[in-house]
Structure 1
Amino acid sequence: ATSREGLERRAAGLTAALEVGGDRLDPRAAAQATEVVERVGERTSIVGSHTVVALAGATGSGKSSLFNMLVGEPVSAIGARRPTTSTPTAAIWGDESAQALLDWLKVGRRHHVPAREGVDAAQGELDLDGLVLLDLPDFDSRESAHRVEADRVLGLVDVFVWVTDPQKYADARLHDEYLTALAGHDAVTLVVLNQADRLSVDDAEACAADLKRLLAADGVKDVEVFLTSATTSAGVVSLEHRISTVVKGHHAAEQRLVADVRASAERLREGVAEQEVRLGNRADQRLVEALGRAAGIPTVLAAVERDYRRSATAHTGWPFTRWARGLRPDPLKRLRLDRSRDRKATVSATDVRLVLGRSSLPPASPAARSAVDLATRDLGDRAGEGLPDRWAEAAQEAASPPDDRMADALDQAVMQTSLRGRTPWWWSIVGLLQWLLAAVAVAGLVWLLVLMAMGWLQLPEVDTPQWGPLPYPLLMLAGGVLIGLALAALGRVLGRVGGRRRRRLIEKRLHEAIDTVARERIVAPVQQVLTDHRETREQLQIARG
Structure 2
Amino acid sequence: MTVSGARAGTMEKRTDLGYRLTALAKVVELGPGRVDPVLLAEAGRLLLRAGDRLRLSGDHTVVALAGGTGSGKSSLFNRISGLELSPTGVRRPTTARTHACVWGLDGAGPLLDWLQIQWRHRFARASALDRGESQLHGLILLDLPDHDSIRALTDHEADRLIQLADLVVWVLDPQKYADAATHTRYVRELAGHEAVTVFALNQADRLAPEELAECVVDLSDLLKSEGVSQPRIVPTSATTGRGVNSLKSVLAESVAGRRAAVQRLEADLDRMMDKLTKVMPVPEAMSVPPTVDAARQEGLTDALCDAVGVPAVGEAMENIYGARSLAWVGWPYARWASHLRPDPAHSLRLGNFRDEIRAVTATSISAQPAEVENAVQALADGLTPGMPDAWRDGVRDAARTNLRHLPQVISDEVAEIAPRLDRVPLWWRLLKIWQYFLVLLFVSGLAWAGSILFYGVLNPRRPAPELLSDVSALPWVALMIASVLGLGLLSAIASRNFVVLGATRERESLEREMRRRISAVAQSQVIHPLEQSLHHYNNFHTALTAAHR
Asked if Structure 1 and Structure 2 have the same fold, meaning a TM-score greater than 0.5 normalized by the shorter chain, the answer is yes
Mapping of residues 518-537 of structure 1, within 5 Å: 518=522, 521-523=525-527, 525-537=529-541
Q: Which amino acid aligns with 1:542?
A: A
Q: Which residue of 2 aligns with 1:339?
A: none
Mapping of residues 317-332 of structure 1, within 5 Å: none
2:142 corresponds to 1:130: no
- Which of 538, 541, 545 pairs up with 2:542? 538
Moved more, 109-118 or 26-35: 109-118
Separation in structure 2 between the aligned mates of residue 202 and residue 416 of structure 1, nearest angstrom: 95
Mapping of residues 128-207 of structure 1, within 5 Å: 128-207=136-215
Given that 1:288 and 1:515 are in contact with CA atoms closer than 8 Å, whether structure 2 keeps it comes out as yes
Separation in structure 2 between the aligned mates of residue 314 and residue 290 of structure 1, nearest angstrom: 37
Mapping of residues 300-449 of structure 1, within 5 Å: 300-306=313-319, 308-309=321-322, 312=325, 316=329, 361-365=364-368, 369-407=369-407, 409-411=409-411, 414=414, 432-442=430-440
Given that 1:409 and 1:517 are in contact with CA atoms closer than 8 Å, whether structure 2 keeps it comes out as yes
- Which of 19, 42, 48 pairs up with 2:29? 19
Given that 2:366 and 2:408 are in contact with CA atoms closer than 8 Å, whether structure 1 keeps it comes out as no
Given that 1:52 and 1:133 are in contact with CA atoms closer than 8 Å, whether structure 2 keeps it comes out as yes
Task: Give the match's secondary structure for 1:76.
Answer: coil
Q: Which residue of 2 aligns with 1:356?
A: none
- Post-superposition offset of 1:159: 1.0
Q: Which amino acid aligns with 1:131?
A: L
Deviations 1:208-244 (A, max 9, x none): 1111112212222233111112222221121122112
Structure 2 vs 1, CA of residues 459 and 37 (structure 1 numbering), >3 Å: closer, same or farther?
farther
- Post-superposition offset of 1:445: 6.2
Given that 1:301 and 1:506 are in contact with CA atoms closer than 8 Å, whether structure 2 keeps it comes out as yes
Q: Which residue of 2 aligns with 1:354?
A: none
- Which of 26, 34, 44 pairs up with 2:44? 34
Mapping of residues 100-111 of structure 1, within 5 Å: 100-108=110-118, 109-111=120-122
Mapping of residues 51-70 of structure 1, within 5 Å: 51-70=61-80
Task: Give the match's secondary structure for 1:56.
Answer: strand
Structure 2 vs 1, CA of residues 200 and 389 (structure 1 numbering), >3 Å: closer, same or farther?
same
Q: Which amino acid aligns with 1:435?
A: I
Task: Give the match's secondary structure for 1:264.
Answer: helix
Given that 2:95 and 2:144 are in contact with CA atoms closer than 8 Å, whether structure 1 keeps it comes out as yes
Given that 2:103 and 2:128 are in contact with CA atoms closer than 8 Å, whether structure 1 keeps it comes out as no
Separation in structure 2 between the aligned mates of residue 145 and residue 476 of structure 1, nearest angstrom: 121
- Post-superposition offset of 1:86: 3.1
Structure 2 vs 1, CA of residues 25 and 416 (structure 1 numbering), >3 Å: closer, same or farther?
farther
Q: Which amino acid aligns with 1:363?
A: S
Q: Which amino acid aligns with 1:439?
A: F
2:294 corresponds to 1:282: yes
Structure 2 vs 1, CA of residues 177 and 264 (structure 1 numbering), >3 Å: closer, same or farther?
same
Separation in structure 2 between the aligned mates of residue 163 and residue 93 of structure 1, nearest angstrom: 21
Moved more, 280-289 or 232-241: 280-289
Greater helix share, 1 or 2? 2
Deviations 1:480-523 (A, max 9, x none): 79975885576456535643454345435544554554455445
Separation in structure 2 between the aligned mates of residue 506 and residue 155 of structure 1, nearest angstrom: 69
Separation in structure 1 between the aligned mates of residue 89 and residue 62 of structure 2, nearest angstrom: 24
Separation in structure 1 between the aligned mates of residue 540 and residue 367 of structure 2, nearest angstrom: 38
Task: Give the match's secondary structure for 1:190.
Answer: strand
Structure 2 vs 1, CA of residues 315 and 249 (structure 1 numbering), >3 Å: closer, same or farther?
farther
Task: Give the match's secondary structure for 1:163.
Answer: strand
- Post-superposition offset of 1:267: 2.2
Task: Give the match's secondary structure for 1:86.
Answer: coil
Separation in structure 2 between the aligned mates of residue 380 and residue 314 of structure 1, nearest angstrom: 50
Q: Which amino acid aligns with 1:11?
A: L
Structure 2 vs 1, CA of residues 316 and 543 (structure 1 numbering), >3 Å: closer, same or farther?
same
Task: Give the match's secondary structure for 1:61.
Answer: coil
Task: Give the match's secondary structure for 1:24.
Answer: coil
Structure 2 vs 1, CA of residues 172 and 534 (structure 1 numbering), >3 Å: closer, same or farther?
farther
Structure 2 vs 1, CA of residues 540 and 430 (structure 1 numbering), >3 Å: closer, same or farther?
closer
Structure 2 vs 1, CA of residues 171 and 428 (structure 1 numbering), >3 Å: closer, same or farther?
same
Q: Which of these two proteins has the greater Rg computed from alpha carbons?
A: 2
TM-score, normalised with respect to structure 2: 0.77
Q: Which residue of 1 aligns with 2:4?
A: none
Given that 2:204 and 2:237 are in contact with CA atoms closer than 8 Å, whether structure 1 keeps it comes out as yes
Deviations 1:318-338 (A, max 9, x none): 79999xxxx989969977xxx
Q: Which residue of 1 aligns with 2:59?
A: 49
Q: Which amino acid aligns with 2:397?
A: E
Gaps of 5+ in 2: 1-8, 337-353, 456-460
Q: Which residue of 2 aligns with 1:352?
A: none
Moved more, 32-41 or 409-418: 409-418
Separation in structure 2 between the aligned mates of residue 50 and residue 97 of structure 1, nearest angstrom: 8
Structure 2 vs 1, CA of residues 459 and 478 (structure 1 numbering), >3 Å: closer, same or farther?
farther
Given that 1:187 and 1:255 are in contact with CA atoms closer than 8 Å, whether structure 2 keeps it comes out as yes
Task: Give the match's secondary structure for 1:269.
Answer: helix
Mapping of residues 268-279 of structure 1, within 5 Å: 268-270=276-278, 271-274=280-283, 275-278=285-288
Task: Give the match's secondary structure for 1:536.
Answer: helix
Given that 1:466 and 1:472 are in contact with CA atoms closer than 8 Å, whether structure 2 keeps it comes out as no
Q: Which amino acid aligns with 2:432?
A: Q
- Post-superposition offset of 1:472: 9.8
Structure 2 vs 1, CA of residues 147 and 492 (structure 1 numbering), >3 Å: closer, same or farther?
farther
Structure 2 vs 1, CA of residues 95 and 125 (structure 1 numbering), >3 Å: closer, same or farther?
closer
Separation in structure 2 between the aligned mates of residue 499 and residue 361 of structure 1, nearest angstrom: 21
Separation in structure 1 between the aligned mates of residue 381 and residue 281 of structure 2, nearest angstrom: 17
Separation in structure 2 between the aligned mates of residue 383 and residue 433 of structure 1, nearest angstrom: 55
- Post-superposition offset of 1:138: 2.1
Gaps of 5+ in 1: 336-359
